[in-house]
Chain A
Amino acid sequence: MPTDIQAPEILYGPLSPMLIVFAAACIGVLVEALAPAARRRGIQVVLAVGGLLAALVAIIVQRGARTLTAGDAIAVDGPTLFIQGVLVVLGVLSILLLAERGLDGSGGAVVARASTTPGSREDMRLADSDAMQSEVFPLAMFSLGGMMLFPASNNLLLMFVALETLSFPLYLMAGLARRRRLLSQEAAVKYFLLGAFASAFFIYGVALLYGYAGSVDAGKIFDATGDVGSNDVLLYLGLAMLAVGLLFKIGAVPFQAWTPDVYQGSPTPVTALMAACTKIAAFGAVLRVFYVAVGRDQWDWRPMMWAIAILTMVVGAILAVTQTDVKRMLAYSSVAHTGFILIGVIAVSKAGLSGTLFYLATYGFTTMAAFAIVTLVRDSSGEATHLAQWTGLGRRSPLVAGVFAFLLFAFAGIPLTSGFMAKFAVFQAGTAGGAGVLVVVGVVASAVTAFFYARVVVLMFFNEPAADGPTVAIPSALTATTIALGLAVTIVLGVYPQPMLDLADQAALFIR
């Protein structure tokens, strides 16, 4: 007997930010097909930035929304909106970085035509042209749309779809570097292979959880954890598999191996997008899974997450010490930061949640600005990312080096920077949540991280510049805006963090 399938109710208002971004991405595809080649880039930038700003307006309009919609598959609540808000602002900044073309000849950081064989004559010719693969903008928009959906997914299958939506464009974008194309393509393939591997874990975990709870809704799984009789081996197996998929995305040890290679090979604006936005979105999903779906079982998954957090902080900090490439160093530093943020996650409290959200926001802006600065330091072969080339940069370009030093201090968590307030927030939540040991490890690890940040500062300011050192390119307004905004947020949240802390505090409540 056929039953009527009830069409789920869709609340378009709460969904509007995501719909706007996806719509802008789809229009971007049409632009690629229809608009004349010479004008595509300009149209794409305006479209992407416009779409993201419109989404920001929609988020502000929806700021009070606390609702489940689309058959309980999507949860629009405080954490979702907070993360989406941060994502679209950072998205605008990364679009600006992608649109920059004043630094590398007349092209940008993105390759002219991705399909040419690296090193071929055609490739050489195109390398100095001002053409670019302008598909990168719709790709970035799709990815950002996926990122916005990721933490909003209340349904694990939808979360998987979001995961793939955000990942596929990133795999492609990672291979689009104009310089050192082989390295870039290698990064893309590695990222793709490992990402697919992680996705397999994720989807298998979803299947096992379905077997356990009979549903893939986070709320239903939560209800099932309350039943004494169910077979919880399935729960733990499923949760472990799911966790592997998510921990891969946030770059936690031992699932971090892709980070340095991919961060180094990708075009730097894409790295900035990955480092800032992907991490924020993935942490949003981690929070939803661990706070909403299995919040009741925190005593069971905490030891595992403790171990992961400690490993992540220690390995990230220690490995960063011997890095000789700025982008790889920042990659390992992002691993260490993942560990610090996990302390907030493990607290499983309102303070932990708001601290995590605050940390994500501060970290995103500082990271975005730091990678933007990396794009400025160049020599004849492109970006000069080897640390030895940064020697004495403070003598040549005190402003750029000074800003970078400030951002590094923020990473290190020196007071009067946002990094200090963020670390303080999660450490405080961790201590209150009984994770004192974890906090001690966190403090020790941040002392180790301070070493290699300070080493770069010393290198830039207290050493004589090399004769054939790199030059600092004068950025156009696009990159300058990104750096200025990232720096401003880093300063303001360090000096006057209260409004943002209040905002994160108000947002820190999930709905089931």
Chain B
Amino acid sequence: MLGAAPLAAETIEYVAADGPLSYLWLLIALPALGSAILLLGGRRTDKWGPNLACAMTGAAFVYGLISFLDLRGRAEQSVDLHLFSWIPVAGFHVDAGLLFDPLSATFVLLITGVGFLIHVYSLGYMDGDPRKRIFFAYLNLFVAAMLLLVLGDSFLALYVGWEGVGLASYLLIAFYFYRPTAATAAKKAFIANRVGDVGLSIAIMVMFAALGTTSFEGVFSNAGALTAGTATAIGLLLLLGACGKSGQFPLQTWLPDAMEGPTPVSALIHAATMVTAGVYLIARATPIFDHTETAALVVSIIGAITLVIGCIIGCAYDDIKKVLAYSTVSQIGYMFLAVGIPGAGAFAILHLLTHGFFKACMFLSAGSVMHGMDDQVDMRRYGGLRKYMPVTYACMGAGYLAIIGLPPFAGFFSKDKIIESAYDLGGTRGWVLGTVALLGAGVTAFYMTRLMVMTFFGNERWTEGQHPHESPKVMTVPMVLLAVGSLVSGFGLLYVVDLPQWLSPVLGHHEEAGPHTISVVVLTALTLVVVAGGVAGAVYAFGRRPVPTTPPVAVTPITVAARKNLYFDSLNESLLMRPGQYLTRALVFLDNRGIDGAVNGLAAGIGGGSGRLRRIQTGFVRSYALSMFGGAAVVVAALLAVRLGT
């Protein structure tokens, strides 16, 4: 069994920043500045703006790398940079500050590194779009907000970044706002996120009410003082926030719709970085979850449910981006599953990082396919593309092998560790969670193989006038780099960098304790067998005969349900939307008749009174003088009356 040494028993103190780390704010300021220049500069920046945006992100990456190396060389690996006194009210004191520790350093590198590659890719992908500059401005805004999210040293600062990425995500999903589907998708994403945000904000309020502070340092040092109930409440509320942002059950339905945004956005925001913010939040709050086994277990269960949902729906869709989106939902489910297991948080982060590489790689490859196929997304209209887009094929292939977990690709190391940790929980929960994770790997292999087969193999089912071609260098180079990452990042991070050891100051030490439930070798072999089964099944189902260009009608009930997102949209509709609409209608009625009636009546009364009073103003001096005389008489009478009254 793996055991986790409780982290919160000791007081947590961050050391003050010095050296290169004194300028940490630059990390956020650079992309924020880029965004501001592009937005405020207007058309003048059309020519060089996108390049500037790339340069800003690149510079942030370089600075992030310098900071990372500096941090590696330190003994104290949690460095806090105090910026300014943010809310200095009596009894409530919030400082704005940045925290640079192994966890945030890891995220900084992921965000700026993958972000930079996707910026470069977008230079090619968005070429010719009249609003290219705006796109890059939003992209930079996103990077800045995301960096604030992972660098903030208090839950309040995190919340600001959290809302910032929500805004950027909204703006980017609705980038093609003239398409009603895009506008609706953006709205849906925003509203689903709001539901989660309410959870996060209440969690912060509960923290403040219970501990009087919202800084990481203060909250984590005193987490031991929380009652079990409070800790569980905070944990579950944080989880609600995380579910909203990361597209987890029951708030997962917005994420596939978010694919209405341009593909680089799907790659950066809705696959590699933003949607993993929920995992970051749970991982960051490890000291709280250490005190509440219930909340931690719920995190794992949510993750398990989501990973199954994502897998099943992923098998049914024909839209290449939606399949990838559901695979994202499912993979983040793996991360949630892991982050809820005591001591396995590092594996969640490991999977997050490898996923960042291979999912970004696959999305960019999908974008490259769409680029060559006139924005066609229906996989039934692809086929045989490997001959025409060899580089894209190779990159997508690398991502594919990584996600199904074939050694030595990245996913093998990270997913294997998660399945192993789940079984090692022991007892019923260990067996259930582990088996779900194991079967999920098989289904993942099935639908990802389906995607590969339908896109790159088989007969050519293109529509008229399509001439698939390889994408330009500016797009393929980032893809290749990400493909290399998909290949080596798993082994590298686990054995070269030793990520669990590196993250231990934040996520707690984990020790190999006791024997495994299932020995590592057996489990690995079992996983590979299941995966191979998934692959074989997909090849058997889709590789042997031509794929029909219209989806078959006579299918199993599961497929029917999966095509309808397992009815989650309908469920939301009947459970939330319809009652909400009725409530709104009732309130509107009340507002119109009751409140507006009273207000308008009052206003009409005043207006009428005004109209009547106006007639006193005749314009004749004599009547004015009379009114003055009357007034004087009243004043005299009033004063004398007071005197007589006493």
Contact = CB atoms under 8 A, between A and B. Distances in A.
Interface string B600-643: 00010011011101101101010111011011101110111011
A260 B617 contact: yes
Interface string B325-367: 0000000000000000000000000000000000000000000
Given A194-B624, A300-B643, A201 B632 contact: yes
A304 interface: yes
Given A319-B613, A319-B614, A237 B640 contact: yes
Given A243-B635, A300-B642, A304-B642, A194 B628 contact: yes
A300 B616 CA distance: 30
A321 B631 contact: no
Contacts of B624: 190, 194, 257-258
A319 B610 CA distance: 5
B613 A318 contact: yes
A303 B621 contact: no
B627 A254 contact: yes
A300 B624 CA distance: 28
B628 A198 contact: yes
Contacts of B634: 254
Contacts of A189: 621
Interface residues of B, number: 29
Contacts of B632: 201, 240-241, 244
B610 A240 contact: no
Q: Which of B614, B623, B625, B639 has the largest number of chain A CB atoms within 10 A?
A: B639
A197 B642 contact: no
Nearest to B629: A197
Q: Which of B613, B630, B646 has the largest number of chain A CB atoms within 10 A?
A: B613
Given A193-B621, A257-B628, A258-B624, A236 B609 contact: no
B634 to A, nearest CB: 8
Interface in A81-110: none
Interface in A230-273: 232-233, 236-237, 239-241, 243-244, 247-248, 253-255, 257-258, 260-261
Interface in A305-362: 307-308, 315, 318-322
B23 to A, nearest CB: 32
Nearest to B607: A321
A304 B627 contact: no
Given A190-B624, A193-B625, A448-B606, A244 B642 contact: no
A451 interface: yes
Given A236-B639, A244-B632, A304-B639, A451 B603 contact: yes
Nearest to A302: B642
Given A236-B640, A244-B635, A315 B613 contact: yes
Given A194-B624, A254-B628, A257-B624, A318 B638 contact: no
A333 to B, nearest CB: 13
Given A260-B617, A319-B613, A197 B625 contact: yes
B624 to A, nearest CB: 4
A248 B610 contact: no
A253 B628 CA distance: 9
A424 interface: no
Contact of B621 (A190, A201, A301): A190
B616 to A, nearest CB: 8
A236 B639 CA distance: 6
Given A194-B621, A232-B643, A304-B639, A244 B610 contact: no
B630 to A, nearest CB: 7
- Would you call the interface of chain B mostly helix, strand, loop, or mixed? helix
B603 A322 contact: no
A244 B613 CA distance: 22
A189 B636 CA distance: 27
B610 A194 contact: no
Q: Which of B610, B616, B617 has the largest number of chain A CB atoms within 10 A?
A: B610
Nearest to A306: B638
Q: Which of A198, A239, A319 has the largest number of chain B CB atoms within 10 A?
A: A319
B44 to A, nearest CB: 22
B612 to A, nearest CB: 10
A310 B624 CA distance: 20
Given A190-B624, A254-B628, A257-B624, A318 B635 contact: no
Contacts of A232: 643
B610 A322 contact: yes
Contacts of B628: 194, 197-198, 244, 248, 254-255, 257
A408 B607 CA distance: 20
B631 A255 contact: yes
Contacts of A260: 617
Interface in B563-617: 603, 606-607, 609-611, 613-614, 616-617
A342 to B, nearest CB: 14
A190 B621 CA distance: 6
Q: Which of B613, B624, B632 has the largest number of chain A CB atoms within 10 A?
A: B632
B639 A239 contact: yes
A304 B638 contact: yes
B615 to A, nearest CB: 11
Nearest to A300: B642
Contacts of A236: 636, 639-640, 642-643
B636 A237 contact: yes
Contacts of B640: 233, 236-237, 240
Interface in A198-250: 198, 201, 232-233, 236-237, 239-241, 243-244, 247-248
Contacts of B639: 236-237, 239-240, 300-301, 304
A448 B623 CA distance: 27
Contacts of A253: 631
B367 to A, nearest CB: 43
A203 to B, nearest CB: 13
Given A197-B628, A261-B619, A241 B607 contact: no
A406 to B, nearest CB: 23
Contacts of B623: 257
B635 A194 contact: no
B304 to A, nearest CB: 51
Interface in A267-302: 300-301
Contacts of A307: 638
A357 B470 CA distance: 78
Interface in A440-483: 448, 451
A243 B631 CA distance: 11
A315 B631 CA distance: 14
B124 to A, nearest CB: 41
Interface string B464-488: 0000000000000000000000000
Given A255-B628, A322-B614, A240 B607 contact: no
Contacts of B610: 318-322
Given A244-B635, A260-B617, A304-B635, A318 B625 contact: no
B630 A303 contact: no
A144 to B, nearest CB: 26
Nearest to A258: B624
B607 A322 contact: yes
Given A194-B621, A304-B638, A254 B631 contact: yes
Contacts of A201: 632
B216 to A, nearest CB: 34
A308 B603 CA distance: 24
Contacts of A244: 628, 631-632, 635
A243 B634 CA distance: 12
Contacts of A239: 639
A227 to B, nearest CB: 15
Given A254-B627, A254-B631, 6 more contacts: A190-B621, A241-B636, A243-B635, A307-B638, A318-B606, A322-B610
21 contacts: A189-B621, A236-B640, A237-B639, A237-B640, A241-B636, A243-B635, A244-B631, A248-B628, A257-B623, A257-B628, A261-B617, A301-B642, A308-B635, A318-B606, A318-B610, A319-B610, A319-B613, A321-B606, A321-B607, A322-B611, A451-B606
The 8 closest A-B pairs by CB, nearest first: A254-B631, A257-B624, A240-B636, A322-B610, A236-B639, A304-B638, A321-B610, A244-B632
